[in-house]
Amino acid sequence: MDIFFHLFLFLFPHNFSGTETNKIIAHFKIINKQFPFDSDFLSIPVYNTMDTHAAITERRSVKHFDPNHALTDEETNKIFELAMLSPTAFNIQHWRIVNVTDKALRQSIKEVAWNQAQVTDASLLLILTADLKAWEKEPQRYWKEAPQGVQDFMVPAIHQYYDGKDQVQRDETMRSMGIVGQTIMLAVKAMGYDSCPMDGFDYDAVGKLISLPDDHVIGYMLAIGKATEPARPRAGQLPMDDIVVQNTF
């Protein structure tokens, strides 16, 4: 319906009356609410981005980044804005993304990360961490804009789901960090950058270096920047039959 309306406006442009103009503006506002990728919702406009399937196909783990390239603040904010739209169970948004900009800290992290060059050469080094206890920290804020009835149902449900279940709390952080990481990797690919997810590091040592709170966990790191060398050819994809299970094992 919306597409046809836009097509109509495009195909049959004419001088609109004041009332018509207001209706059109109202219509666009509704569309923007449905698909809020505009400056009302995000602080900066959307870039010219690639097709989602192309971003998925072309994302590779790049090992060599241009150490002299820097992302603009606008680009960095854009990445975080998009990342924060990733789904989380009960909308608890428990990721805490550490953006390591300090050069000396990067060097220290590299030393406990098998000296992998991405750690210092990438334009961005993000450590994806999550708050294991976010579910009990003012959970009403995760539903504050929902209708009262929804809030009354969801907020106590959060408590019931996680309370006393350490494994569930931990599993949930790992699920969320996996999803947010892939969101970021596809987002940066669409912006013309590359990335490398990394778990080749000493988790305890990195935790100490970033003063990780006791009730937080590290998922993995993401190096992001401008590739100077493409990734090596894919190492070997399994046949689909090994991956996709029809109904039951």
Ligand X SMILES: Cc1cc2nc3c(=O)[nH]c(=O)nc-3n(C[C@H](O)[C@H](O)[C@H](O)COP(=O)(O)O)c2cc1C
Footprint of ligand X on this chain (CB under 6 A)?
Answer: 60-61, 63, 116, 196-200, 220, 231, 235
**Cβ-Cβ contacts under 8 Å for 198 (sequence gap 6 or more):** 113, 116, 118, 119, 220, 221, 222, 223
Residue 236 C-beta: closest distance to ligand X, Å: 9
Residue type, 120: T
Residue nearest to ligand X (CB): 200
**Cβ-Cβ contacts under 8 Å for 212 (sequence gap 6 or more):** 129, 206, 218
Q: Do 112 and 63 contact (CB within 8 A), yes or no?
A: no
Looking at the Cβ atoms of 33 and 232, the one nearer to ligand X is: 232
Looking at the Cβ atoms of 92 and 223, the one nearer to ligand X is: 223
Residue 204 C-beta: closest distance to ligand X, Å: 16
Looking at the Cβ atoms of 9 and 112, the one nearer to ligand X is: 112
Q: Do 191 and 213 contact (CB within 8 A), yes or no?
A: no
DSSP secondary structure letter of residue 146: S
Looking at the Cβ atoms of 65 and 142, the one nearer to ligand X is: 65
Q: Do 103 and 122 contact (CB within 8 A), yes or no?
A: no
Residue 39 C-beta: closest distance to ligand X, Å: 33
Q: Do 200 and 114 contact (CB within 8 A), yes or no?
A: yes
Residue 213, token pair as written in the block:
């709170």
What is the phi/psi pair of residue 123, to 5°?
-70, -40
Residue 241 C-beta: closest distance to ligand X, Å: 20
Looking at the Cβ atoms of 90 and 95, the one nearer to ligand X is: 95
Residue 231 C-beta: closest distance to ligand X, Å: 5
Residue 212 C-beta: closest distance to ligand X, Å: 18
Classify residue 117 by burial, with Cβ atoms within 10 Å: 0-12, 13-18, 19+. middle
Looking at the Cβ atoms of 184 and 198, the one nearer to ligand X is: 198
